[in-house]
Chains A and B, each alone.
Chain A
Amino acid sequence: MAVMAQTPVEQESELLITGSEAMAIACKLADVDVVTAFPIRPYDTVMQFMSQLIADGKMDCEFIPADGEHSQFEIVKHASTCGARVFVGSSGVGWMYAMEALTVTPALRVPMVAIVGNRALDDPGAFGTEHNDALSVRDLGWHLVWVDSAQEAFDTNLIAYRFAEDKRIMTPVAISLDGAFLTHSQALVKIPTQAQVDKFLPRYDRGNLLFHPDNPISIAPQCNEDWVMEIRLQQYGVTQRSKDVLREVYAEYDSVFGRNYGPNPFFEEYMTEDADVVLLGMGTLSMPVKVAVRKMRAQGKKVGFVRLRWFRPFPGEELAQCLSQFKAVGVIDRDYSLGSPYLSGVVATEVRTALYPGNGPKPPVLGFICGLGGREVYEADIEKMTAACFEAAAGKPQPLTQWIGVRE
């Protein structure tokens, strides 16, 4: 494809590419050693672009088509223990099929970058965005991040390698790209030079965890119950450190590439300064919400938006501090958590948990389930959710969970 012919090496450039192509080019610049692939939409577009880069001789990398997602994730896990920088990904039920491999990866302290092209879980077989696939590993030690543009996808890929391979972390990162909105639309993306990337991203070094004859170790021996809690505590230690390391990596990214992701990298605040109520959500939801917020602002409604970028580590303290300033918070979940407290979505439940411990004010948190299976979130939907938040702010009790934009 013509795009790839323009793939830059020497100078910074701007290309019209999809989020998936941005990911593939980032992997090329990160000099990824091993990629495993198994087709499932919408993730498979990354796989296609990467195999093309390799076939065109622009990328030196082992490209291994696996017999299924379970093998796909097992192969990169093993390759990473041997010191290879690896890339992998899937979508929807493909991600779920890899679940056993996904659970063991963080415990073994295997850094990798995976892309989840968010897709509704079957049945029904549908391809649209829903966040339940990536969220299914939220308790297992995976770091989870959602991006909302092709540029952010590119940047986050490099950031994720640097973060995942940091000696204090050494665990995997999954980058979520909303199917369709990011994986399949082309936008202009700034691509840095190889020299810049090399400056930012050091070689992957496993140190004494390297599986190699020169460093004779055994990984994952069978052990009994006497050992399990200590192993889990080590993983817990990673989660205690991860926010600080992320802050460092983002600051470093800014200094090398000149792109700043705000005062904290965990979430983006939009028109929140003097807001009475805010909406909160993840991924490309930001696009319609920002447009609607601007429109409502023009009508004099003091509403803002918080886009949660990192779901793991969850920025509990930071979010609590931010959200306690407002009179009401509306959380838009592009996911469901059936049978959860107040029958809300995953993010609403986590936000309520984050707000509970502090001594600060506790605004009502309304949960909205919206945009499942890639359904469009309309301006009118967002205005409806905002109106409910203003009612709650005025002291009128509102349902804790509402389904928006559904045919009843």
Chain B
Amino acid sequence: MGQLFAVEISYRGVFQKNLAKNICRGIVLAAHNEGRPGISFGRYSDSPERNGIPAKSFAIVASDDETLEIGMAQYMPKQVDLTVVLDDTLCKGLEPWAWAGLEPVNHTLKPGKTLIVVSTEPAATLLKMIHKKDAPYKLGILKGLASFSGMWNYKDDHTDMRVLGAIAKALPEMFKFESLEKYITEKLKAPAKVQSALMAYQRLAVTDVKAGEGNQEKPYSFVQPGASQMREGVSIEAAPLGGPYNSAGGYKSGRPDKLMKFSSRTLRPVVDFSVCTKCTLCWLQCQDGSFDVTPDGYYDANMKYCMGCGVCEAVCPVPNCITMVSELAFTDNANQWEAYTKDKAAYKAWLKTKIQNVPARAHGYRYRGQYKEEIPAALEIANKA
């Protein structure tokens, strides 16, 4: 058996699909320049993709056709030589819509290999989110924002080329930078892109991560039942009925225990209970029924079920009552109302830091011209790197 390389790209569904696909194509065609055959594919169960849902694309490269078949024989690679994360909020883990459970982002990475994250955050911040692994590995940070490059209505910001340059650095056994350069000049006919790739190749910052280092939380998982334990007739039991929030009253919706959502969201609502008028709109409009009614009549977003869509913020009639904040600002899924009840002053201080000192909302543009406005900041990030 010859050499087999597998690369996994984790991305946000729909928005980053073409970006991930373009990177995988680049991997296969750059390696092809060194005489290595390869294929690329998306994880089938992600498609049809839902907006923002964690999804995966793969590239497999081998030293020869027979070895490639070993890679192709698998539905998806079980172990990879390199993982790329195109949106740093995915560092909390992946929950594909068709896969019930939370998969750590470094789950399939072989020991000693590199996890490349596109982010402007330092390694320490990312490692608070990335689950611990039994073996050491490397964390490479490619400075940049979560890009939608490759989407038809989005500027080509060369993120694909930068990632490919970083890959050439982290895994030169798969393809050398010269082969990537050949692909970009001959196939894409875009010399300016070579420069982007080269800068990423030269600047990729890599940190060693020790075994056991990272987020210590045990990722949510469960065992799938066998045919004899399942109900007949393609049927499932309804979610249980709701009940009181606690002994003091209130109301907690009944929810399915196997369909929790942690990593589907890139933003989460934080609630300033002190200005809430208890108008019920967030509770009524939430599409996932993720709000609980507290015993004192407030509405508290349950972080096990919130998808981060932002409807609550949009419908809330009170200024600054509900604010959507980037997931990067949080390391847990703690209950906000309980913290508020326990110590109102401390909660207010916490709220202030979350709303004022957090990374700007990434993930897309909300009005015409926003991209243009953000170019100077993006340039600054790129120049600093």
Contacts and interface: CB of A to CB of B under 8 A. Distances in A.
A41 B48 contact: yes
Interface string B21-58: 00011001100100001011110110110000000000
Contacts of B72: 185, 287
B238 interface: no
A408 B75 contact: no
Contact of A408 (B29, B37, B226, B234): B226
A91 to B, nearest CB: 13
A185 B225 contact: no
B225 A407 contact: yes
A397 interface: no
Contacts of B47: 41, 127, 184
Interface in A184-219: 184-188
A322 interface: no
Contact of A185 (B29, B40, B227, B228): B40
A188 B38 CA distance: 8
Contacts of B32: 16, 188
A48 B41 CA distance: 17
The bracket for how many chain A residues form the interface is 20 to 34
B74 interface: yes
B42 A184 contact: yes
Contact of B40 (A16, A179, A406): A16
A291 B73 contact: yes
Interface in A367-408: 374, 376, 379, 406-408
Given A287-B72, A408-B227, 20 more contacts: A2-B188, A41-B47, A41-B48, A124-B234, A128-B44, A180-B41, A184-B41, A185-B40, A186-B24, A186-B25, A186-B28, A186-B39, A188-B28, A288-B73, A376-B74, A376-B75, A379-B73, A406-B226, A407-B226, A408-B228
Contacts of A407: 224-227
12 contacts: A16-B40, A42-B44, A124-B234, A127-B45, A180-B41, A184-B42, A186-B25, A186-B39, A186-B41, A287-B72, A374-B44, A374-B75
B338 interface: no
A186 B40 CA distance: 5
B37 A188 contact: yes
A294 B65 CA distance: 13
Contacts of A16: 25, 28-29, 32, 40
Interface of B: 24-25, 28-29, 32, 37, 39-42, 44-45, 47-48, 66, 69-70, 72-75, 188, 224-228, 234
Interface in A255-293: 287-288, 290-292
A139 interface: no
B69 A291 contact: yes
Contacts of A41: 47-48
A123 B234 contact: yes
A296 to B, nearest CB: 14
A226 B147 CA distance: 69
A127 B44 contact: yes
Contacts of B39: 185-187
Top 10 A-B residue pairs of the complex, sorted by shortest distance between their CB atoms: A185-B41, A180-B44, A407-B226, A376-B75, A288-B73, A287-B73, A291-B73, A186-B40, A187-B39, A123-B234
A179 B44 contact: yes
Contacts of A184: 41-42, 44, 47
Nearest to A407: B226
A406 B44 contact: no
A290 B234 contact: no
B180 to A, nearest CB: 15
Nearest to B24: A186
A187 B226 CA distance: 35
Interface string A237-257: 000000000000000000000
Nearest to B32: A188
A128 B43 CA distance: 11
Contacts of A292: 73
A179 B227 CA distance: 24
B25 A406 contact: no
A285 to B, nearest CB: 10
Interface string A284-320: 0001101110100000000000000000000000000
Interface string A109-129: 000000000000001100110
Contacts of A406: 226-227
Nearest to B224: A407
A347 B171 CA distance: 44
